[in-house]
Structure 1
Amino acid sequence: MPLRPRRTRPRPESTTLPFRGLFIGAGLLACGCLAVALGASWYGGALRLAGQSEQRVPLDILIGDDHLRLPANMIRFEDQRRAGMAERVDLYLAWPELEGYSAALRSRFDAPDDQGRLIFVQLSQSTMSRDMSGRVEPIYRHLLEGPARPGPAGLTAQTLKKTSGFGEDVLLTGTDADGALYAVRCALPVAPGKTTNADCQRDVHVGRDLTMLYRFSSQLLPQWQAIDAGLRRFVSASLISDMSQNDSGDALRP
Protein backbone atom coordinates (compact mmCIF):
# COMPACT_ATOMS: atom_id res chain seq x y z
CA MET A 1 0.00 0.00 0.00
CA PRO A 2 1.51 3.41 -0.88
CA LEU A 3 2.82 5.65 1.86
CA ARG A 4 0.92 8.81 2.67
CA PRO A 5 2.49 11.91 1.17
CA ARG A 6 4.29 14.12 3.60
CA ARG A 7 2.81 17.47 4.42
CA THR A 8 4.68 20.57 5.44
CA ARG A 9 3.27 21.83 8.69
CA PRO A 10 3.59 25.53 9.53
CA ARG A 11 5.43 26.66 12.60
CA PRO A 12 3.32 28.26 15.33
CA GLU A 13 3.61 32.04 15.51
CA SER A 14 4.19 31.99 19.23
CA THR A 15 5.22 29.51 21.87
CA THR A 16 1.79 29.69 23.52
CA LEU A 17 -1.15 29.02 21.24
CA PRO A 18 -4.45 30.75 22.01
CA PHE A 19 -7.36 28.66 23.19
CA ARG A 20 -8.99 28.75 19.76
CA GLY A 21 -5.74 27.68 18.16
CA LEU A 22 -5.66 24.62 20.39
CA PHE A 23 -9.06 23.54 19.11
CA ILE A 24 -7.99 24.07 15.49
CA GLY A 25 -4.85 22.06 16.13
CA ALA A 26 -6.86 19.34 17.83
CA GLY A 27 -9.16 19.12 14.82
CA LEU A 28 -6.20 18.69 12.47
CA LEU A 29 -4.76 16.10 14.81
CA ALA A 30 -8.07 14.23 14.82
CA CYS A 31 -8.01 14.02 11.01
CA GLY A 32 -4.52 12.60 11.12
CA CYS A 33 -5.48 10.12 13.81
CA LEU A 34 -8.42 8.90 11.74
CA ALA A 35 -6.03 8.13 8.91
CA VAL A 36 -3.83 6.25 11.38
CA ALA A 37 -6.79 4.18 12.55
CA LEU A 38 -7.79 3.32 8.99
CA GLY A 39 -4.25 2.23 8.20
CA ALA A 40 -3.60 0.20 11.35
CA SER A 41 -4.91 -3.05 9.87
CA TRP A 42 -2.25 -3.13 7.16
CA TYR A 43 0.81 -2.33 9.28
CA GLY A 44 2.11 -5.90 8.91
CA GLY A 45 2.02 -5.88 5.12
CA ALA A 46 3.40 -2.36 4.95
CA LEU A 47 6.37 -3.37 7.06
CA ARG A 48 7.22 -6.21 4.70
CA LEU A 49 7.27 -3.76 1.81
CA ALA A 50 9.11 -0.98 3.60
CA GLY A 51 12.61 -2.30 2.86
CA GLN A 52 13.90 -3.13 6.34
CA SER A 53 17.58 -2.71 7.05
CA GLU A 54 19.85 -4.49 9.53
CA GLN A 55 22.46 -1.73 9.19
CA ARG A 56 23.28 -0.14 12.53
CA VAL A 57 25.23 2.78 11.07
CA PRO A 58 24.34 5.91 13.06
CA LEU A 59 22.70 8.70 11.07
CA ASP A 60 22.70 12.33 12.16
CA ILE A 61 19.27 13.82 11.52
CA LEU A 62 18.37 17.46 12.12
CA ILE A 63 14.71 18.30 12.79
CA GLY A 64 14.29 21.99 13.54
CA ASP A 65 16.54 22.83 16.47
CA ASP A 66 17.03 19.20 17.49
CA HIS A 67 19.91 16.99 16.40
CA LEU A 68 19.26 13.24 16.60
CA ARG A 69 21.66 10.37 16.08
CA LEU A 70 19.76 7.18 15.22
CA PRO A 71 20.83 3.77 13.87
CA ALA A 72 19.52 3.06 10.38
CA ASN A 73 17.81 -0.19 11.39
CA MET A 74 15.44 1.72 13.69
CA ILE A 75 14.19 3.97 10.88
CA ARG A 76 11.05 2.51 9.40
CA PHE A 77 11.05 3.96 5.89
CA GLU A 78 13.90 3.49 3.45
CA ASP A 79 13.77 7.03 2.07
CA GLN A 80 14.31 8.44 5.58
CA ARG A 81 17.55 6.50 6.15
CA ARG A 82 19.87 9.36 5.31
CA ALA A 83 21.72 12.00 7.27
CA GLY A 84 20.74 15.63 7.06
CA MET A 85 17.75 17.86 7.62
CA ALA A 86 14.33 16.23 7.81
CA GLU A 87 10.75 17.20 8.49
CA ARG A 88 10.20 14.06 10.55
CA VAL A 89 11.55 10.58 11.12
CA ASP A 90 9.48 7.42 11.67
CA LEU A 91 10.86 4.62 13.82
CA TYR A 92 9.78 1.09 14.71
CA LEU A 93 11.11 -0.49 17.86
CA ALA A 94 10.79 -3.93 19.40
CA TRP A 95 9.44 -3.85 22.95
CA PRO A 96 10.82 -4.11 25.58
CA GLU A 97 14.27 -4.14 23.98
CA LEU A 98 13.75 -0.82 22.17
CA GLU A 99 15.88 -2.14 19.33
CA GLY A 100 15.51 -1.85 15.58
CA TYR A 101 15.18 -4.49 12.88
CA SER A 102 17.63 -7.41 12.99
CA ALA A 103 17.79 -11.05 11.95
CA ALA A 104 17.20 -12.08 15.57
CA LEU A 105 14.04 -9.96 15.78
CA ARG A 106 12.81 -10.52 12.22
CA SER A 107 9.71 -12.48 13.23
CA ARG A 108 8.60 -9.62 15.47
CA PHE A 109 8.76 -7.13 12.61
CA ASP A 110 7.26 -9.39 9.94
CA ALA A 111 4.07 -10.25 11.87
CA PRO A 112 3.31 -7.30 14.13
CA ASP A 113 -0.47 -7.04 13.98
CA ASP A 114 -1.33 -9.54 16.69
CA GLN A 115 1.91 -9.67 18.64
CA GLY A 116 1.71 -6.39 20.55
CA ARG A 117 5.48 -6.16 20.78
CA LEU A 118 6.31 -3.33 18.39
CA ILE A 119 6.10 0.39 19.09
CA PHE A 120 5.84 2.93 16.28
CA VAL A 121 7.42 6.33 16.97
CA GLN A 122 7.25 9.52 14.93
CA LEU A 123 9.53 12.43 15.79
CA SER A 124 8.67 15.80 14.27
CA GLN A 125 8.90 19.49 15.04
CA SER A 126 6.26 20.60 17.54
CA THR A 127 3.31 22.52 16.11
CA MET A 128 1.25 22.72 19.30
CA SER A 129 2.23 24.27 22.62
CA ARG A 130 0.70 21.39 24.61
CA ASP A 131 1.19 17.66 24.38
CA MET A 132 -1.62 15.15 24.92
CA SER A 133 -1.56 15.37 28.71
CA GLY A 134 -1.58 19.16 28.48
CA ARG A 135 -4.60 19.09 26.18
CA VAL A 136 -6.83 17.13 28.58
CA GLU A 137 -8.16 20.18 30.44
CA PRO A 138 -8.45 22.80 27.66
CA ILE A 139 -9.61 20.46 24.87
CA TYR A 140 -10.53 16.89 25.71
CA ARG A 141 -12.78 17.70 28.66
CA HIS A 142 -15.10 19.51 26.21
CA LEU A 143 -15.23 16.44 23.97
CA LEU A 144 -16.15 13.86 26.61
CA GLU A 145 -19.55 12.36 27.31
CA GLY A 146 -20.85 10.12 30.06
CA PRO A 147 -19.30 9.43 33.45
CA ALA A 148 -15.72 8.35 34.01
CA ARG A 149 -15.28 4.63 34.63
CA PRO A 150 -12.47 2.26 35.59
CA GLY A 151 -10.32 1.44 32.58
CA PRO A 152 -7.56 -1.08 31.91
CA ALA A 153 -4.28 -1.09 33.84
CA GLY A 154 -5.58 1.15 36.63
CA LEU A 155 -6.38 4.00 34.25
CA THR A 156 -9.63 5.96 34.13
CA ALA A 157 -11.64 5.67 30.90
CA GLN A 158 -13.87 8.34 29.39
CA THR A 159 -15.84 8.16 26.16
CA LEU A 160 -15.23 10.75 23.44
CA LYS A 161 -18.24 12.19 21.65
CA LYS A 162 -19.05 10.77 18.24
CA THR A 163 -18.73 14.30 16.86
CA SER A 164 -15.22 14.77 18.28
CA GLY A 165 -13.51 13.42 15.18
CA PHE A 166 -11.67 10.70 17.10
CA GLY A 167 -13.78 7.77 15.92
CA GLU A 168 -14.26 5.08 18.55
CA ASP A 169 -11.28 6.19 20.63
CA VAL A 170 -11.50 6.26 24.42
CA LEU A 171 -9.48 8.69 26.51
CA LEU A 172 -7.53 6.97 29.29
CA THR A 173 -5.93 9.01 32.05
CA GLY A 174 -3.86 8.30 35.12
CA THR A 175 -1.00 9.58 37.26
CA ASP A 176 2.58 8.49 36.65
CA ALA A 177 5.24 7.74 39.25
CA ASP A 178 6.22 11.43 39.38
CA GLY A 179 2.65 12.55 40.00
CA ALA A 180 2.19 13.96 36.50
CA LEU A 181 -0.97 13.48 34.45
CA TYR A 182 -0.78 10.71 31.85
CA ALA A 183 -3.20 10.64 28.92
CA VAL A 184 -3.50 8.21 26.02
CA ARG A 185 -6.18 7.62 23.38
CA CYS A 186 -7.05 4.05 22.51
CA ALA A 187 -9.40 2.27 20.15
CA LEU A 188 -10.01 -0.60 22.54
CA PRO A 189 -10.73 -3.84 20.63
CA VAL A 190 -13.88 -5.81 21.36
CA ALA A 191 -11.84 -9.03 21.46
CA PRO A 192 -8.16 -9.72 22.25
CA GLY A 193 -7.61 -11.18 18.78
CA LYS A 194 -8.53 -7.83 17.21
CA THR A 195 -5.61 -5.89 18.69
CA THR A 196 -2.96 -4.21 16.54
CA ASN A 197 0.26 -2.36 17.28
CA ALA A 198 -1.60 0.92 16.75
CA ASP A 199 -4.55 0.57 19.17
CA CYS A 200 -3.23 3.34 21.41
CA GLN A 201 -1.44 6.59 20.73
CA ARG A 202 0.08 9.33 22.80
CA ASP A 203 2.25 12.37 22.08
CA VAL A 204 4.73 14.12 24.36
CA HIS A 205 7.18 16.99 24.01
CA VAL A 206 10.85 15.98 24.02
CA GLY A 207 14.16 17.67 23.29
CA ARG A 208 14.14 21.37 22.46
CA ASP A 209 11.15 21.46 20.14
CA LEU A 210 10.17 17.92 19.19
CA THR A 211 6.91 16.06 19.45
CA MET A 212 7.19 12.31 19.94
CA LEU A 213 4.01 10.59 18.78
CA TYR A 214 4.02 6.91 19.59
CA ARG A 215 1.58 4.07 18.96
CA PHE A 216 1.36 0.71 20.68
CA SER A 217 -0.95 -2.23 21.26
CA SER A 218 -3.64 -2.05 23.93
CA GLN A 219 -2.20 -5.36 25.15
CA LEU A 220 0.72 -3.32 26.45
CA LEU A 221 -1.39 -0.94 28.55
CA PRO A 222 -0.33 -2.69 31.79
CA GLN A 223 3.18 -1.42 30.95
CA TRP A 224 2.17 2.17 30.15
CA GLN A 225 4.52 3.71 32.70
CA ALA A 226 7.50 1.65 31.58
CA ILE A 227 6.80 2.42 27.91
CA ASP A 228 6.49 6.16 28.45
CA ALA A 229 9.61 6.38 30.61
CA GLY A 230 11.58 4.07 28.32
CA LEU A 231 10.79 6.06 25.18
CA ARG A 232 11.65 9.34 26.87
CA ARG A 233 15.02 7.92 27.91
CA PHE A 234 15.57 6.55 24.41
CA VAL A 235 15.00 9.93 22.74
CA SER A 236 17.05 11.74 25.37
CA ALA A 237 19.97 9.39 24.69
CA SER A 238 19.58 9.94 20.93
CA LEU A 239 19.77 13.74 21.14
CA ILE A 240 23.12 15.41 20.44
CA SER A 241 23.54 18.67 22.34
CA ASP A 242 26.75 19.84 20.63
CA MET A 243 26.18 20.23 16.88
CA SER A 244 29.89 19.69 16.26
CA GLN A 245 29.75 16.11 17.59
CA ASN A 246 29.47 14.35 14.25
CA ASP A 247 32.47 12.04 14.53
CA SER A 248 30.47 8.87 15.31
CA GLY A 249 27.72 9.34 12.75
CA ASP A 250 27.26 10.34 9.15
CA ALA A 251 27.90 14.06 8.74
CA LEU A 252 24.93 16.32 8.42
CA ARG A 253 24.17 17.29 4.85
CA PRO A 254 22.05 20.25 3.76
Structure 2
Amino acid sequence: MSDKPLVGQVPDDFTRSPNQADHPAVYELENAAMDPDGVLLDAMRELAPWAGRTLLDLGCGSGYWLPGYAAEAATVVGVEPDPSLLPLAAARPGGARVLHGSAEHLPLPDDSVDVVHARFAYFFPPGCDAGLAEVRRVLRPGGRLVVVDNDHHHGEFAQLLAISPWAAYQGNGAATAQWWAERGAVRREVMSEWRFARRDDLEAVLRLEFPADVAEPWLRSRPDALGLTYGYVLFTVEV
Protein backbone atom coordinates (compact mmCIF):
# COMPACT_ATOMS: atom_id res chain seq x y z
CA MET A 1 0.00 0.00 0.00
CA SER A 2 1.11 3.56 -0.67
CA ASP A 3 1.91 5.87 2.21
CA LYS A 4 -0.80 8.28 3.21
CA PRO A 5 -0.13 11.44 1.20
CA LEU A 6 1.71 14.02 3.25
CA VAL A 7 0.28 17.50 2.83
CA GLY A 8 2.88 20.06 3.79
CA GLN A 9 3.61 23.73 3.30
CA VAL A 10 3.60 23.97 -0.49
CA PRO A 11 2.95 27.36 -2.11
CA ASP A 12 -0.45 27.64 -3.74
CA ASP A 13 0.90 29.41 -6.84
CA PHE A 14 1.41 26.21 -8.84
CA THR A 15 -0.30 25.90 -12.21
CA ARG A 16 -3.32 23.69 -11.68
CA SER A 17 -4.15 21.12 -14.37
CA PRO A 18 -7.92 21.54 -14.84
CA ASN A 19 -8.29 18.70 -17.33
CA GLN A 20 -6.93 16.13 -14.86
CA ALA A 21 -8.18 17.71 -11.64
CA ASP A 22 -11.71 18.42 -12.88
CA HIS A 23 -12.16 15.35 -15.10
CA PRO A 24 -10.02 12.56 -13.63
CA ALA A 25 -12.04 9.76 -15.23
CA VAL A 26 -11.59 11.17 -18.73
CA TYR A 27 -7.91 11.86 -18.09
CA GLU A 28 -7.57 8.23 -17.03
CA LEU A 29 -8.82 7.24 -20.50
CA GLU A 30 -6.21 9.52 -22.05
CA ASN A 31 -3.38 7.97 -20.05
CA ALA A 32 -4.57 4.46 -20.90
CA ALA A 33 -4.52 5.26 -24.63
CA MET A 34 -1.10 6.91 -24.55
CA ASP A 35 1.90 5.17 -26.12
CA PRO A 36 0.26 1.72 -26.48
CA ASP A 37 3.40 0.07 -27.86
CA GLY A 38 5.69 1.52 -25.20
CA VAL A 39 7.85 3.48 -27.66
CA LEU A 40 8.03 6.49 -25.36
CA LEU A 41 8.75 4.39 -22.28
CA ASP A 42 11.53 2.56 -24.11
CA ALA A 43 13.16 5.88 -24.99
CA MET A 44 12.85 7.08 -21.39
CA ARG A 45 14.46 3.87 -20.11
CA GLU A 46 17.30 4.24 -22.59
CA LEU A 47 17.97 7.82 -21.55
CA ALA A 48 17.71 7.16 -17.81
CA PRO A 49 17.33 3.51 -16.74
CA TRP A 50 15.38 3.11 -13.51
CA ALA A 51 15.42 -0.65 -12.94
CA GLY A 52 16.56 -1.25 -9.36
CA ARG A 53 16.93 2.48 -8.71
CA THR A 54 15.05 5.26 -6.93
CA LEU A 55 12.68 7.16 -9.23
CA LEU A 56 10.84 10.41 -8.55
CA ASP A 57 7.70 11.14 -10.59
CA LEU A 58 7.54 14.93 -10.33
CA GLY A 59 4.01 16.23 -10.85
CA CYS A 60 2.62 12.70 -10.68
CA GLY A 61 -0.99 13.92 -10.83
CA SER A 62 -3.43 11.13 -10.13
CA GLY A 63 -0.56 8.64 -10.14
CA TYR A 64 -1.40 6.69 -13.28
CA TRP A 65 2.24 5.87 -14.07
CA LEU A 66 3.36 5.05 -10.53
CA PRO A 67 2.54 1.30 -10.57
CA GLY A 68 4.42 0.76 -13.82
CA TYR A 69 7.48 2.52 -12.50
CA ALA A 70 7.24 0.58 -9.22
CA ALA A 71 7.29 -2.72 -11.11
CA GLU A 72 10.87 -1.97 -12.17
CA ALA A 73 12.36 0.56 -9.76
CA ALA A 74 13.57 -0.26 -6.26
CA THR A 75 11.76 2.78 -4.84
CA VAL A 76 9.23 5.16 -6.39
CA VAL A 77 8.17 8.53 -5.00
CA GLY A 78 5.38 10.62 -6.49
CA VAL A 79 5.32 14.36 -5.75
CA GLU A 80 2.24 16.41 -6.61
CA PRO A 81 1.30 20.02 -5.70
CA ASP A 82 -2.48 19.69 -6.21
CA PRO A 83 -4.05 18.38 -2.97
CA SER A 84 -7.13 17.17 -4.85
CA LEU A 85 -5.04 14.63 -6.77
CA LEU A 86 -3.02 13.25 -3.85
CA PRO A 87 -5.62 10.70 -2.65
CA LEU A 88 -5.98 9.30 -6.18
CA ALA A 89 -2.23 8.86 -6.51
CA ALA A 90 -1.89 7.34 -3.04
CA ALA A 91 -4.57 4.75 -3.84
CA ARG A 92 -2.58 3.26 -6.73
CA PRO A 93 -1.09 -0.19 -6.21
CA GLY A 94 2.63 -0.79 -6.22
CA GLY A 95 3.80 0.82 -3.00
CA ALA A 96 4.95 4.20 -4.26
CA ARG A 97 5.22 6.96 -1.67
CA VAL A 98 3.07 9.98 -2.51
CA LEU A 99 4.11 13.35 -1.12
CA HIS A 100 2.74 16.87 -1.32
CA GLY A 101 5.31 19.09 -2.98
CA SER A 102 6.29 20.96 -6.10
CA ALA A 103 9.24 21.37 -8.43
CA GLU A 104 10.42 24.32 -6.36
CA HIS A 105 9.78 22.58 -3.01
CA LEU A 106 10.69 18.89 -3.12
CA PRO A 107 10.14 17.15 0.25
CA LEU A 108 13.20 14.95 -0.21
CA PRO A 109 16.80 14.96 1.09
CA ASP A 110 19.81 15.93 -0.97
CA ASP A 111 21.23 13.20 -3.23
CA SER A 112 18.29 10.87 -2.61
CA VAL A 113 17.02 9.81 -6.07
CA ASP A 114 18.56 8.44 -9.26
CA VAL A 115 15.97 9.38 -11.89
CA VAL A 116 13.40 12.17 -12.04
CA HIS A 117 10.51 12.11 -14.50
CA ALA A 118 8.48 15.21 -15.29
CA ARG A 119 5.79 13.98 -17.64
CA PHE A 120 3.71 16.93 -18.90
CA ALA A 121 4.54 18.77 -15.70
CA TYR A 122 6.96 21.61 -15.22
CA PHE A 123 8.09 21.97 -18.81
CA PHE A 124 7.11 25.45 -19.94
CA PRO A 125 10.14 27.73 -19.44
CA PRO A 126 11.28 30.41 -18.94
CA GLY A 127 11.02 30.79 -15.18
CA CYS A 128 11.86 27.19 -14.29
CA ASP A 129 15.34 27.66 -12.86
CA ALA A 130 14.25 27.28 -9.23
CA GLY A 131 12.65 23.94 -9.96
CA LEU A 132 15.61 22.71 -11.96
CA ALA A 133 17.89 23.66 -9.05
CA GLU A 134 15.70 21.60 -6.69
CA VAL A 135 15.81 18.63 -9.03
CA ARG A 136 19.59 18.87 -9.18
CA ARG A 137 19.66 18.99 -5.38
CA VAL A 138 17.78 15.71 -4.91
CA LEU A 139 19.51 13.83 -7.72
CA ARG A 140 22.53 11.73 -6.84
CA PRO A 141 25.75 12.22 -8.85
CA GLY A 142 25.17 10.69 -12.27
CA GLY A 143 21.39 10.94 -11.85
CA ARG A 144 19.16 12.17 -14.65
CA LEU A 145 16.05 14.25 -15.18
CA VAL A 146 13.82 13.30 -18.11
CA VAL A 147 11.17 15.85 -19.10
CA VAL A 148 8.37 14.72 -21.43
CA ASP A 149 7.01 17.53 -23.62
CA ASN A 150 4.85 17.84 -26.71
CA ASP A 151 6.40 17.83 -30.15
CA HIS A 152 4.79 20.84 -31.85
CA HIS A 153 5.85 19.85 -35.36
CA HIS A 154 5.16 16.14 -35.89
CA GLY A 155 2.00 14.07 -35.54
CA GLU A 156 -1.72 14.70 -35.69
CA PHE A 157 -1.82 15.92 -32.11
CA ALA A 158 0.69 18.64 -33.01
CA GLN A 159 -1.60 19.77 -35.83
CA LEU A 160 -4.43 20.19 -33.34
CA LEU A 161 -2.17 22.05 -30.91
CA ALA A 162 -1.19 24.48 -33.65
CA ILE A 163 -4.78 25.65 -34.15
CA SER A 164 -5.95 25.48 -30.56
CA PRO A 165 -6.20 28.77 -28.64
CA TRP A 166 -5.90 26.77 -25.42
CA ALA A 167 -2.34 25.82 -26.40
CA ALA A 168 -1.26 29.21 -27.75
CA TYR A 169 0.81 29.96 -24.63
CA GLN A 170 3.03 26.98 -25.45
CA GLY A 171 4.18 28.57 -28.68
CA ASN A 172 5.89 26.31 -31.19
CA GLY A 173 8.32 24.76 -28.74
CA ALA A 174 11.34 26.78 -29.88
CA ALA A 175 11.71 28.80 -26.67
CA THR A 176 11.42 25.65 -24.56
CA ALA A 177 14.04 23.84 -26.64
CA GLN A 178 16.44 26.77 -26.40
CA TRP A 179 15.97 27.04 -22.63
CA TRP A 180 16.80 23.38 -22.10
CA ALA A 181 19.72 23.49 -24.55
CA GLU A 182 21.25 26.39 -22.60
CA ARG A 183 21.13 24.19 -19.51
CA GLY A 184 22.88 21.27 -21.13
CA ALA A 185 19.85 19.11 -21.90
CA VAL A 186 19.88 16.48 -24.61
CA ARG A 187 16.80 16.72 -26.86
CA ARG A 188 15.21 13.63 -28.43
CA GLU A 189 12.09 13.28 -30.56
CA VAL A 190 9.85 10.21 -30.24
CA MET A 191 6.86 9.42 -32.46
CA SER A 192 4.08 7.39 -30.88
CA GLU A 193 0.29 7.51 -30.83
CA TRP A 194 -2.91 7.45 -28.84
CA ARG A 195 -4.98 4.28 -29.36
CA PHE A 196 -8.44 3.89 -27.83
CA ALA A 197 -10.61 0.80 -27.48
CA ARG A 198 -13.82 2.79 -28.01
CA ARG A 199 -14.71 5.72 -30.23
CA ASP A 200 -16.58 7.37 -27.36
CA ASP A 201 -13.37 7.48 -25.34
CA LEU A 202 -11.43 9.19 -28.12
CA GLU A 203 -14.18 11.77 -28.50
CA ALA A 204 -14.29 12.47 -24.77
CA VAL A 205 -10.53 12.99 -24.56
CA LEU A 206 -10.30 15.27 -27.59
CA ARG A 207 -13.17 17.35 -26.23
CA LEU A 208 -11.28 17.59 -22.95
CA GLU A 209 -8.02 18.71 -24.56
CA PHE A 210 -9.37 21.04 -27.25
CA PRO A 211 -12.20 23.54 -27.73
CA ALA A 212 -15.19 22.43 -29.76
CA ASP A 213 -14.21 24.36 -32.88
CA VAL A 214 -10.94 22.38 -32.97
CA ALA A 215 -12.06 18.92 -31.80
CA GLU A 216 -15.38 18.60 -33.65
CA PRO A 217 -14.14 19.18 -37.24
CA TRP A 218 -11.32 16.70 -36.68
CA LEU A 219 -13.73 14.07 -35.35
CA ARG A 220 -16.26 14.62 -38.14
CA SER A 221 -13.59 14.23 -40.80
CA ARG A 222 -12.42 10.92 -39.29
CA PRO A 223 -15.58 9.03 -38.30
CA ASP A 224 -13.78 5.69 -37.97
CA ALA A 225 -10.69 6.88 -36.13
CA LEU A 226 -9.79 5.26 -32.82
CA GLY A 227 -6.62 7.23 -32.26
CA LEU A 228 -4.09 9.67 -33.65
CA THR A 229 -0.36 10.03 -34.08
CA TYR A 230 1.44 11.82 -31.28
CA GLY A 231 4.96 13.22 -31.22
CA TYR A 232 6.93 13.73 -28.01
CA VAL A 233 10.11 15.60 -27.19
CA LEU A 234 12.29 14.40 -24.33
CA PHE A 235 14.77 16.69 -22.58
CA THR A 236 17.37 14.89 -20.47
CA VAL A 237 19.69 16.58 -17.96
CA GLU A 238 22.44 14.65 -16.16
CA VAL A 239 23.87 15.78 -12.81
TM-score range, shorter chain: under 0.3
| TM-score, with structure 2 as normaliser | 0.27
Question: Higher helix share goes to which structure?
Answer: 2
